[in-house]
């Protein structure tokens, strides 16, 4: 194995759409804004958010290994620290390095928009560690989905909009923030249902562990179907029929809800995770098409 491959595995590149999509969805409506659209600010926002996402993943990899949460019975991808490919000290150092990179990349954003970016960035960096570390690790208390909805939904979408326009959120930003948060949370919920047995035996009290498989399956269905209803609400509120385009994702929502309901947790859930990631990416594509149709 090359020296770089364990780091790539620890960074979990398959999770990065959860950082890319909300920044894109929050930024793209600014293309029709009087203040214009800044590609340099967009690039800095995206790269900073990607660094925070990677730092979160590295903290997770190292801390889960320390706590014994990643065992030999793991059904998901092998974790670099638990497998012994990297030391937890090295991975923690890598996480801190990405936190520093996120802060450095955000300097143009601070210059453009001031103290709100400092506040958002500081809280996001703190939460990158608090997701699995600190006295109240969110992922171990059943708060992982809430964390994702808040930070990979509302904070990322509204923050990206603010960077581009200097304005607070309108109905579109609140709704799309909730949509991206729910679609990203579907990934977490599928992951937690897959790992419910391992997490229960190692003290990781996810919602799937706390409330059982039936609850987890219903939670996944909610995360897949509610964003479709929100598209209709957004189209009605804003008198903008193109915002209904994400309804084309209904077959994927049905597929995920039905397959998850009928399948016992196992390695096949890794395929369901891929479908959920595709769902998130396609939402960004359909939302972008609706923006260009309106502006065109």
Tell me: the pLDDT tens digits for 35-85?
Answer: 778 999 999 999 999 999 999 999 998 888 787 666 556 566 777 787 788
Rounded to the nearest 10°, the torsion over CA 222, 223, 224, 227 is 100
pTM: 0.93
| Phi-psi region at 17: left, alpha or beta (left = phi > 0; alpha = psi -120 to 50) | alpha
Structural domain spans, the chain: 5-290
Tell me: the pLDDT tens digits for 138-183?
Answer: 888 899 999 999 999 999 999 999 999 999 999 999 999 999 999 9
**pLDDT(96) > 70:** yes
- CATH class of segment(s) 5-290: mainly alpha
How many residues comprise the chain? 296
What is the spatial distance between Cα 245 and Cα 228, in angstroms, rounded to a whole number?
9
Rounded to the nearest 10°, the torsion over CA 174, 214, 270, 198 is 110
**pLDDT(134) > 90:** no
Count, in order, helices (H) and strands (E) of the chain: 14, 0
**What share of the chain has pLDDT > 90, as a percent?**
72
In the structure encoding, which two tokens stand for residue 191, read together?
A: 């992951």
**pLDDT(295) > 60:** no
Tell me: the pLDDT tens digits for 211-266?
Answer: 999 999 999 999 999 999 999 999 999 998 989 999 999 999 999 999 999 999 99
């Amino acid at each position: 194995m090359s020296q770089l491959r364990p780091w790539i595995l620890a960074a979990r590149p398959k999770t990065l759409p959860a950082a890319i999509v909300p920044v894109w969805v929050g930024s793209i409506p600014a293309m029709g804004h009087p203040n214009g659209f800044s590609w340099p600010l967009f690039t800095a926002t995206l790269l900073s958010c990607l660094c925070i996402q990677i730092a979160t993943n590295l903290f997770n990899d190292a801390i889960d290994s320390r706590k014994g949460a990643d065992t030999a019975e793991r059904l998901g991808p092998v974790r670099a620290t638990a497998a012994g490919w990297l030391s937890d000290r090295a991975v923690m150092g890598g996480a801190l390095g990405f936190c520093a990179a996120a802060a450095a990349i955000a300097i143009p954003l601070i210059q453009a928009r001031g103290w709100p970016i400092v506040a958002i960035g500081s809280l996001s960096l703190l939460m990158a560690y608090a997701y699995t570390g600190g006295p109240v690790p969110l992922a171990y208390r059943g708060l992982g989905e809430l964390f994702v909805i808040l930070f990979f939904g509302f904070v990322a979408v509204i923050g990206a909009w603010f960077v581009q326009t200097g304005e607070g959120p309108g109905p579109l930003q609140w709704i799309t923030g909730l949509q991206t948060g729910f679609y990203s949370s579907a990934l977490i919920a599928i992951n937690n249902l897959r790992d419910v047995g391992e997490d229960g035996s190692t003290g990781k009290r996810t919602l799937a562990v706390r409330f059982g498989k039936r609850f987890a399956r219903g939670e996944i269905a909610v995360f897949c179907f509610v964003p479709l209803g929100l598209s209709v609400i957004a189209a009605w509120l804003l008198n903008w029929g193109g915002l209904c385009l994400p309804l084309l994702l209904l077959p994927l929502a049905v597929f995920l809800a039905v397959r998850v309901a009928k399948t016992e947790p196992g390695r096949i859930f890794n395929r369901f995770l891929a479908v959920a990631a595709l769902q998130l990416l396609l939402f960004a594509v359909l939302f972008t098409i609706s923006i260009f149709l309106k502006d065109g």
